[in-house]
Amino acid sequence: MHRIAASSVDWKAIRADFPILREQAHGHPLIYFDSAATSQKPRIVIEALRNFYEHENANVHRGLHTLSSRATEAYEKSRKRVAEYIGAASADEIVFTRGTTESINLVAQAWGGKFIREGDVILLTEMEHHSNLVPWQLLAERTGARLRFVPVRDNGTLDLDQLPSLLKSDVKLFAFTHISNSLGTINPVAQLCEKAHAVGALSLVDAAQSAGHLPMDVRVLGCDFLAFSGHKMCGPTGIGVLYGRADILDSMPPYHGGGEMIVSVALEKSAFKKAPHRFEAGTPSIAGAIGLAAAIDYIEQIGRAAIFEHDSQLARYAADRLTELAGTRVFGPKEERGALVGFVMDAAHPHDLTTFADQYGLAMRGGHHCNQPLMRRFGVSGTTRASFYFYNTVEEIDRMIEILHAAVRFFS
Ligand code: 7TS
């Protein structure tokens, strides 16, 4: 049985930073095990949003009045904060988007539209979230490019033995997830980026499940693009990030057209700003960016190494304890895993199981988790997923196991 190591952080005290964790569901204390879908928000982030709307709200980059300067300054300061957080060389490498999905679509449309030709290959993996799959399918349809996939082994890791036959000089981009949102697998990002570069391909990392969970430096990882969402890392919804290496962003045409992204506009033709502003058409999520910077400050205060240790231990503890339950199949690697565990039980369908658990205040997710090809690979239509963050506790996992025992009795 995996043991939880003592850590210098007072994790129980941290729970008090999250007002929503005091909620009840169906008369039971809420156990929130759905942070892979979206994390909860600490008071300090909620207050940053409120402070912005009470003291700084105006549109950015447009007005010459005091509030507009305050808003612009706060928005651009947030961009710098994000750059520091992921080790980017400059704030110009940070594009604010709505989230991971939009970040990947931006690359597929703007970079893919310019550089991908018929016969080129985009290499993906079998464990990609639909948002790192469908944009490439659309690009392939438009351009005649082909998609290729790194298979997943039974233990939930990528079958990298296949890489030499898949990652060849016809591959222009290797796009893969850092942490699988269904299996918890942590992929060897630096190694994969290096292999991509060795054949002249660029790399894109989907960091939706990792950006708020572990230390990350894009220059150490060696990736060309990195995408993540604010709402999965204590930030607000509607704000996300695309990191792109400066020279690559500079080579890309705009994604959306409109205000904010132009230098001058004539009726027939326009001149565009440099990156990153060229990719931010229209009024951005100003409050979102400011909230994300507050979330980053909060996460950094705790420390990403400590968060990773805590979360991954919880996930391994949960995976171990789930094996106590008869007729339960746990997915993903045994040794190292991100902050989640997916499983199926003979006793009940994932939808019935999660509905049952909700009656006891336990929030999990049942279904395909936007991983339909991966579910098919494992011969299931869906799984039940418990996903954790640093505000979760061992006691909550013990309670989950009790509830699942009750589910087995109820359904059989
Ligand atoms: N990539 C991965 C690996 C994800 O887990 C998700 C969201 C996305 C991309 C898309 O992020 P978005 O913020 O643009 O929506 N994953 C999940 C999930 O597992 N359950 O709900 C959303």
Please tell me if the CB atom of residue 123 comes closer than 6 angstroms to any atom of ligand 1. Answer: no
pLDDT bracket for residue 106 (50, 70, 90):
very high
| Distance of CA 250 from the midpoint of ligand 1 (Å) | 27
164-178, 262-276, 308-322: the lowest-pLDDT one: 262-276
Which residue from 128, 230, 132 is spatially nearest to 179, judged by alpha carbons? 128
**pTM score:** 0.97
Domains and CATH numbers, the chain: 11-41+304-411 (3.90.1150.10), 46-301 (3.40.640.10)
Q: What are the helix and strand counts (H, E) for the chain? A: 15, 17
Question: Whose Cα sits closest to atom 17 in ligand 1?
Answer: 37
Instruction: Give the separation between CA 135 and CA 120, rounded to whole angstroms.
Output: 15
Mean local confidence (pLDDT), 59-65: 88
| Distance of CA 129 from the midpoint of ligand 1 (Å) | 7
Asked whether residue 233 carries a pLDDT value surpassing 70, the answer given is: yes
| Amino acid in position 317 | Y
Please tell me if the CB atom of residue 129 comes closer than 6 angstroms to any atom of ligand 1. Answer: yes
Greatest distance between any 2 Cα atoms in the chain: 70
Asked whether residue 63 carries a pLDDT value surpassing 90, the answer given is: no
Please tell me if the CB atom of residue 208 comes closer than 6 angstroms to any atom of ligand 1. Answer: yes
Mean local confidence (pLDDT), 6-13: 81
pLDDT, tens digit, for every residue of 279-313?
999 999 999 999 999 999 999 999 999 999 999 99
How deeply is 320 buried, as exposed, middle or buried, from its count of CB atoms within 10 A (0-12, 13-18, 19+)?
middle
Catalytic status, residue 370:
yes
Asked whether residue 6 carries a pLDDT value surpassing 60, the answer given is: no
Q: What is the pLDDT of residue 108?
A: 98
pLDDT bracket for residue 7 (50, 70, 90):
low
Average pLDDT, the chain: 96
Q: What is the pLDDT of residue 266?
A: 92
Asked whether residue 4 carries a pLDDT value surpassing 90, the answer given is: no
